[in-house]
Each structure stands twice: as structure tokens, then as C-alpha cells.
Homo-oligomer: A and B are copies of this chain.
Amino acid sequence: MVGLFEMKKAAEVRDTKHVILKNALQLFLKKGYRAVTYQDLMKKTGLSKGAIYHHFASKDELLEGVFGFLLDTTRQPAVESPEDCVTDRETFRELFVRGKLAQIQGFKKITHTRSLKVNRLLFFLEAINENDGLKQSIEELMQEEKMFLVKCFTGLQKHNRLPPGKDPALLAECLFWMLQGSEMRLFVSDDYNLEADCINGYNKTIDDFFAITGCL
């Protein structure tokens, strides 16, 4: 039967591509993009150079593929109307942390890694430097996350959880940068347990933020 045959072949192709992407991502995160060589890729994937080139015509194309792969596996599905779901600190925290957790778990599933060290940032910056398209993706990703926070704080305002006169948009932006900054801490620290440390970090940042701003 033709159908089955072709499906099998297509699956194998996807498999090899997937093997390359997964292993390349792990290497890129561990050593940075430039530092990873085809030698490394060959050893890690068990494939020949030619096979990798058969699927990705250049290292840059591989970078794009890996980046897309990382975003696909990592991006949580957009939450519908956070401005309605979020009614207080706990619902906000739950929503936010749940999303991050899903991201981290997707990430762990493909990298089989517990630690990141500085290298996710390094990989991102190299990507930005090498490839203008990827730079855009990263900026869009940041914008998206900021908008999500604005909606959350709009929800909190609707339920009178903000101190009088506080602008939800301003609060959202401040929290966004604080989260960015404190995420850097993870990368600088030696090593960390992804789930525990990361989630704890997010929780602490949210608690601190609510404490210093007087949100409830």
C-alpha cells in the first residue's frame, strides 16, 4: 500500500531532521553557536557531515531551523483573555508560572538537560548577531510577553487589586524588565535546577514586586 510506504518514508525524514535539530540545539545551548562544529554535530547525532548538509544547506540554515524548533517546542499556547482570568495575585501567579512551567518542560523534553548556565543568552545573542531574521523573532517574543503582562494587570485593576492611581501598563512593563533581569541571575549562576530554581525565581520576583508596589 502506497500510503503507508510514503508515510513511513516521510516519518524517517522527519526523524533524521528531528535528530539533527534536537542535538544541534543541545550543543548550541551548551557551547554557543560559533563554537559548535560539524565535528561536534557528527559525533552527537551519529550522522555523517553529508547527511546533515542533506537536510540543512548551511550552518546558518541549521541555526534558523534550530531556533524555530526551540520556539515551537517552547512557546506556550496563548492564554485567552488573561484580563478576565486574572482576579488577584494568586490567579496571576498561577497563570504566569503555569505558562513558564510548560515552557521549561517542553524545553527539557527536547534537551534532556537540567541546566543552562549562561549559554541560552549567549546562543540568543549570537543568533541575533548572525541573523537578522532571528533578531526580529526574539523582539517579537519579548513584545508578546509584555502584552500578556499588561492584560494581566488590567484584570487586576478590574478587581481593585492595584493601589489607587497605579497604571497597569506601567506596572506590567516594570515587572517585565524585573523578570528579565532576574532571569539573568540564573544564567550567571553556576548551574541550576530548571524547574525548582526557575519557578522559585519567578515566584520570588512576583512576590517581591507585589510587596514593593502594594498590589494585592
Contact = CB atoms under 8 A, between A and B. Distances in A.
A54 B32 CA distance: 25
A216 interface: no
A176 interface: yes
A121 interface: yes
A133 interface: no
Given A171-B212, A213-B213, A181 B188 contact: no
A173 interface: yes
Given A34-B34, A118-B125, A188-B138, A177 B181 contact: yes
A121 B119 contact: no
Interface in A157-216: 163, 166, 170-171, 173-174, 176-182, 184-185, 187-188, 205, 208-209, 211-214
A179 B205 CA distance: 14
B180 A184 contact: yes
Contact of A188 (B128, B178, B214): B128
A209 B174 contact: yes
Contact of A142 (B118, B128, B139, B188): B188
A7 interface: no
B170 A208 contact: yes
Interface of A: 31-32, 34-35, 117-119, 121-122, 125-126, 128-129, 135, 138-139, 142, 163, 166, 170-171, 173-174, 176-182, 184-185, 187-188, 205, 208-209, 211-214
11 contacts: A32-B129, A121-B125, A138-B188, A163-B214, A171-B212, A174-B209, A177-B178, A177-B205, A184-B184, A212-B212, A213-B214
Given A32-B34, A170-B211, A176-B181, 4 more contacts: A34-B34, A122-B122, A128-B188, A213-B214
